[in-house]
A and B are shown apart, each in its own frame.
Chain A
């Protein structure tokens, strides 16, 4: 094994550890939202520091590989991809943390029917499933699975549109609570963006496996 191969193995292991940490953050955050459990929300927020520290560590590993080993061809694409995947994972972690913050700060207003009717929990589950599957495609270097993720993200976009229409309708009916409705609208948009981050990871996988750059079509 060459020095570079050794470093690349280590980098991949770090990225997979990071994705597991973020996925756990998503699951805990989802559970805290489903039960409106403030204690669990606080615990989920504590994981954010760990994710941020890991992002920094992976950044340094990538910097070291560029500086020391001059990777080329697929090795180069893989380091570039992992540098960006690292950023995407940290953003998903931010989204999980912001949902936990929403739960932590929620008082008085009963969000349960709003969360149910916007299908926020299902969106959350789908966003996490996308993350898990895209990281499987990363681990196995399966570009076909990554392409499938690009299609699946569209479902989240549709759910977001439906939730938005529902919330606008509710605001019209109950303008007094507009602030609470907007908080849930913001939450649903974040879940949709978590899907976008997984989609971005899928594009990175296609980039390093097939050397193809995938651009969004206008419909996306």
Chain B
């Protein structure tokens, strides 16, 4: 069974046909990279997995998106529960104006967990999972804004992990970070994939190559090619993919 699957999926912003008949299946505990030039639909596609696009007016979706074989756009789906299952990390680190501890504890509290022992344990585990514990353990009560950009991004990943999702969506998670912080996040992605299914949108093709098991290349709302990353970067089947990854595009 696939963890995520899109079937005959079309998506529109008003009259603009943003995604065209996308059929794609993602295996559990893998990293899938979505690549393509700006406006190709890769971020739109990512945001369909936690129904973020619901917040945009005048959009329309046809076809299906299945998570654990259930259509997440079916009537009666609990969107809050869906978003608990799918943690998301954005381009710019976006910690809350709270302490480091509270940033990670926040999701737990709004989800009704009040036992302070459980919260403390979960916060510590999540921060350790993102390899940030040693750097922040002595200043958990300090503001999250005191951390560097790279640390803030790892904190945001810890915040996503605390609510124990099974899927992590990453929308260009390192584009605002320096090379060392980027490398730490990439290392983290490698560590996390044994427990989570990760989908990452990236403009950096080398990053897609380095971190993912499968890569999907989008162009003008179409899924041009989807295959094992090694295959796509050594022997792409479609000329457009070859032109894009070798920088000869257009």
How far apart are the CA atoms of A3 and B190 in the complex, in Å? 7
Segment with Cβ contacts to B, from A13-21, A63-71, A73-81, A82-90 = A63-71
* Contact flag A70-B186 (CB < 8 Å), given A3-B211, A64-B230, A64-B234: no
| Min distance, Cβ A65 to any Cβ of chain B, angstroms | 10
Confirm or deny: B54 has a beta carbon within 8 angstroms of a beta carbon on chain A.
Answer: no
Q: Which A residues between 109 and 167 are near B, CB-CB below 8 angstroms?
A: none
Q: Give the interface centre of B183, B186, B190 by most chain A CB atoms within 10 Å.
A: B190
Beta-carbon contacts of B182-193 to A below 8 Å, as 1s and 0s?
Answer: 010011001000
Q: Hey, what's the 0/1 contact readout for A18-50 against B, CB within 8 Å counting as 1?
A: 000000000000000000000000000000000
| A68 to chain B: closest residue by CB | B209
Number of A-B contacts (CB under 8 A): 28
Residues of B within 8 A of A69 (CB): 209-210
Contact A68 B210 (CB under 8 A): yes
Q: Which interface class (under 10, 10 to 19, 20 to 34, 35 or more) fits B?
A: 10 to 19
What CA separation (Å) do A125 and B209 show in the bound complex? 45
CB-nearest residue of chain A to B190: A3
Closest to B208 in A: A68
User: Are the C-beta atoms of B190 and A1 separated by less than 8 Å?
Assistant: yes
Q: Is the CB of A67 within 8 A of B190?
A: no
| Complex interface residues of chain A between 1 and 15 (CB less than 8 A to chain B) | 1-4, 6
Query: Which chain A residues border B211 with CB–CB below 8 Å?
Result: 3
Q: Most chain-B CB neighbours within 10 Å: which of A2, A6, A70?
A: A2
B233 touches A67 (CB 8 A): yes
A-chain residues with CB within 8 Å of residue B16 when the two chains form the complex? none
Is B58 in contact with chain A by the CB < 8 A criterion? no
In the bound complex, what is the Cα–Cα distance between A3 and B200 (angstroms)? Answer: 16
Let me know if A4 and B234 touch, CB within 8 A. Answer: no
Query: Smallest CB-CB separation from B31: which chain A residue?
Result: A3
Task: Decide yes or no: A67 and B186 within 8 Å by CB, A3-B210, A3-B211, A4-B210 being known contacts.
Answer: no
CB distance from B129 to the nearest CB of A (A): 15
Convert B123-159 into 0s and 1s, putting 1 for each residue whose CB lies closer than 8 angstroms to a CB of A.
0000000000000000000000000000000000000
B202 near A: Cβ within 8 Å?
Answer: no
| Chain B 209-250 interface residues, beta-carbon cutoff 8 Å to A | 209-211, 229-230, 233-234
- Give the CA-CA distance A2 to B211 in the complex, in Å: 9
Which residues on the A side are within 8 Å of B234 (C-beta)? 63-64, 67
Chain B 170-197, CB-CB to A under 8 Å as 1, else 0, gives 0000000000000100110010000000
List chain B residues, Cβ under 8 A from A67.
Answer: 209, 230, 233-234
Q: Within the assembled complex, what's the spacing in Å between the Cα atoms of A173 and B127?
A: 84
B210: which A residues are within 8 A, CB to CB? Answer: 3-4, 68-69
Partner of B187, one of A2, A64, A68, A70: A2
B27: shortest Cβ distance to chain A, in Å? 18
Given contacts A64-B234, A68-B209, A69-B210, contact A6 B190 (CB under 8 A): yes
The chain B residue with its CB closest to the CB of A6 is B190
Q: How many Å from the CB of A37 to the closest CB on chain B?
A: 43
Q: In the assembled complex, how far is the CB of residue A61 from the closest CB belonging to chain B, in whole angstroms?
A: 9
Q: Is the CB of A3 within 8 A of B230?
A: no
A60 to chain B, nearest CB (A): 8
Q: Give the CA-CA distance A147 to B186 in the complex, in Å.
A: 38
* Contact of B190 (CB < 8 Å), options: A2, A63, A64, A70: A2
Contact A68 B233 (CB under 8 A): yes
Show 15 residue pairs from A and B whose CB-CB distance is below 8 angstroms, ordered by the A residue: A1-B187, A1-B190, A2-B183, A2-B187, A3-B186, A3-B210, A3-B211, A64-B230, A67-B230, A67-B233, A67-B234, A68-B209, A68-B229, A69-B210, A70-B206
- The chain A residues found within 8 Å of chain B, CB to CB, are 1-4, 6, 63-64, 67-70
Chain B interface residues (CB < 8 Å from chain A): 183, 186-187, 190, 206, 209-211, 229-230, 233-234
Q: With contacts A1-B187, A3-B186, A67-B230 known, what are 15 further pairs, Cβ within 8 A?
A: A1-B190, A2-B183, A2-B186, A2-B190, A3-B187, A3-B211, A4-B210, A6-B190, A63-B234, A64-B230, A64-B234, A67-B233, A67-B234, A68-B229, A68-B233
